[in-house]
Amino acid sequence: NRGEIKNGSILRLTTSPDQEAERLYSGIQSNNSDVKTDSLKKLASLSQDVTFAQEFINRNGLKQIFYIVEEGNEVLGSAGSLPAGEMLAHTLKAFMELMEHDFVSWETLSAAFIKKIVSYVNMNVVDASVQQLSLSILENMVPTSRLLFELVRKEVTLDRLLTHLQVTNAQLQLKAMALLIALLLAATDAERRDMMDYLREKNIRQFIHKNIIHSSEPLGDEMAHYLYVLQSVSLNLCERRMRTSMDPYSQEQRELLQSLRQTAFESESEAAASNFSTERRRSLCAKEFRKLGFTNNSNPAEDLRRAPPGLLALDNMVYFSRHTPNAYSRFVLENSSREDKHECPFARSSIQLTLILCEILHVGEPCSETAQAFYPMFFGQDHFFEELFCICIQLVNKTWKEMRATQEDFDKVLQVVREQITRTLSLKPTSLELFKTRVNALNYSEILKLRQTERRLPPVLSPQDVLELAFSIVYDVEEYCLNFIAPTRYEFCLWTDGLNVLLGKEMTSERTQTDLDVLLSMELKLRLLDLEN
């Protein structure tokens, strides 16, 4: 790389990589524990250098590192064995740095070595730095092969990782989270679903919300990224339902659909329907599905054939009707008693809203490798997606009334609702309750005000004013000109004077004269001050 060295660069003379590699290769085999520890410490530092790493690996140095780890039995964190703990930490650090260069495959690691690393993660009394490095090694190992993933998943239980997450040592917490995320990302869909179900049972969300997001320590970029991934993986569990169309022949799905109708109209229709003929009963059902806001009221399943949002929209409607039955009944009954053209269609709105929420929350999209944008309120709530839907579907009804909308305004209303949701989410509310308060405060007239402010429309000018503020740039080369109208007289002067200067002409505006007057009077005052002295 001599050609890359610039004149004036300061060169530092150091031992050549091959000599240093040879010296440390001998040093880490020394029987003197001080020499061995110092050699391992130096090795951990120098292994970041690719040339040195290659020289050391070529000498079969990794074999020696494996030997130190596999034979190390006295690495517990008690005071008496601290040097051994320190020695092991340097060994693991050196191993991590050497593996970073990709000269050696992770799959070549021996079962004994992996077993030892796993044991450091699973033991209770181990030097904290050793546990952090062991977690890091496993995290790097997991994505490289299916075999290693299965091995780590079997040996390091989710319970063990949750124990590490609950320590006060922020670095250890971070490395445990990193391994958990690596396992989730390497898992199959079915495995991921099982793991997430187990984590939900163990209340991981509430723990993260309370002890990580709201801890006294500021959240680092790395942890923010892991929380984003955890949120993304969790929301992507909705993808399967989102991409599945309704099957009109599925008994279970038909029952869910009928439950919506029964919850809303049960008291008034069931008693009457018992005396009706089949035809009459069918006609009554169709009428009720129309009141529910289905477009295809004789066969409402057709409305749910579009995927996305597919069955996820049905799940959301059923969740809303079961968990907030009063709000659900109020929505449906209020709109079925309005004039036809002003009613807000519950089902049609729910289907579109579900699609909007999927787009805003990136459901079904792969995780970004760098993003850190998670929503703190996501971790404060089980059934986050469904609960968010319950708030937002009531917002649709509220905004519909504020806009005095008719069926023709459907898309316009949903566009406003999308804006209300995204603007509120950008404020990063810490709980769904706070989101609900803020999104409801951001009513239609507020949205209009914000749009108006952001457009920054210039004031409307009368024709006489326009002539005072208009100027043009005319090109010599071709018959073409650019016409301008300045928003104020001051800006008109700035532009015309500026353009004249660029053309080598005199500045002619009245602003020039006033500026000149100020400067001249200032100069005069300075000269008079000089005289007084």
Structural domains in the chain? 17-234 (1.25.10.10), 251-266+278-455 (no CATH), 463-532 (no CATH)
pLDDT at 82: 41
- Over the chain, what is the mean pLDDT? 90
pLDDT score of 273 more than 60: no
Q: What digits encode the pLDDT tens for the residues 376-388?
A: 999 988 899 999 9
pLDDT score of 418 more than 90: yes
Q: What digits encode the pLDDT tens for the residues 493-503?
A: 999 999 999 98
pLDDT score of 530 more than 90: no
pLDDT score of 79 more than 50: no
Q: What digits encode the pLDDT tens for the residues 32-58?
A: 989 999 999 999 999 999 999 999 999
pLDDT at 381: 85
pLDDT at 275: 64
pLDDT score of 78 more than 70: no
pLDDT at 268: 57
The answer to which of 137-146, 188-197, 508-517 has the lowest mean pLDDT is: 508-517
The pTM score is 0.78
Residue 14 — pLDDT band, cuts 50, 70, 90? confident
Angle, helix 221-235 to helix 189-201, in steps of 10 degrees? 110
Residue 80 — pLDDT band, cuts 50, 70, 90? very low
What single letter denotes the amino acid at residue 62? Answer: L
**Whole-angstrom distance, CA of residue 232 vs CA of residue 244:** 20
Record the tokens describing residue 294, joined without a space.
């289905």
SS3 204: helix
Write b or e for each residue in 207-218: b if 16 or more Cβ atoms lie within 10 A of its Cβ, otherwise e: ebbeebbeeeee
Instruction: Please work out, in degrees rounded to the nearest 5, the angle formed at the alpha carbon of residue 395 by the alpha carbons of 391 and 400.
Output: 160
pLDDT score of 198 more than 90: yes
Q: What digits encode the pLDDT tens for the residues 146-190?
A: 999 999 999 999 999 999 998 888 999 999 999 999 999 999 999
Kindly report the length of the chain.
533
pLDDT score of 461 more than 90: no
pLDDT at 459: 56
pLDDT at 126: 83
pLDDT at 489: 87
pLDDT at 524: 81
pLDDT score of 215 more than 90: no
**Whole-angstrom distance, CA of residue 461 vs CA of residue 430:** 45
What single letter denotes the amino acid at residue 237? Answer: L
Q: What digits encode the pLDDT tens for the residues 340-380?
A: 688 999 999 999 999 999 999 999 999 998 888 899 999 98
What single letter denotes the amino acid at residue 172? Answer: L
pLDDT score of 301 more than 70: yes
Instruction: Identify the top-confidence range among 122-126, 388-392, 492-496.
Output: 388-392
pLDDT score of 3 more than 90: no
CA proximity to 331, closest of 352, 317, 341: 317
Write b or e for each residue in 400-430: b if 16 or more Cβ atoms lie within 10 A of its Cβ, otherwise e: bbebebeeebbeebbebbbebbeebbeeebb
pLDDT at 452: 85
Which element (helix H / strand E) includes 472?
strand 470-474
Residue 10 — pLDDT band, cuts 50, 70, 90? confident
pLDDT at 211: 87
pLDDT at 281: 83
Provide the percentage of residues in the chain whose pLDDT is more than 70: 94
SS3 61: helix
Residue 462 — pLDDT band, cuts 50, 70, 90? low
Give the β-pairing of 481-485 and 470-474: antiparallel
Per the CB < 8 A criterion, the answer to whether 134 and 121 are in contact is yes
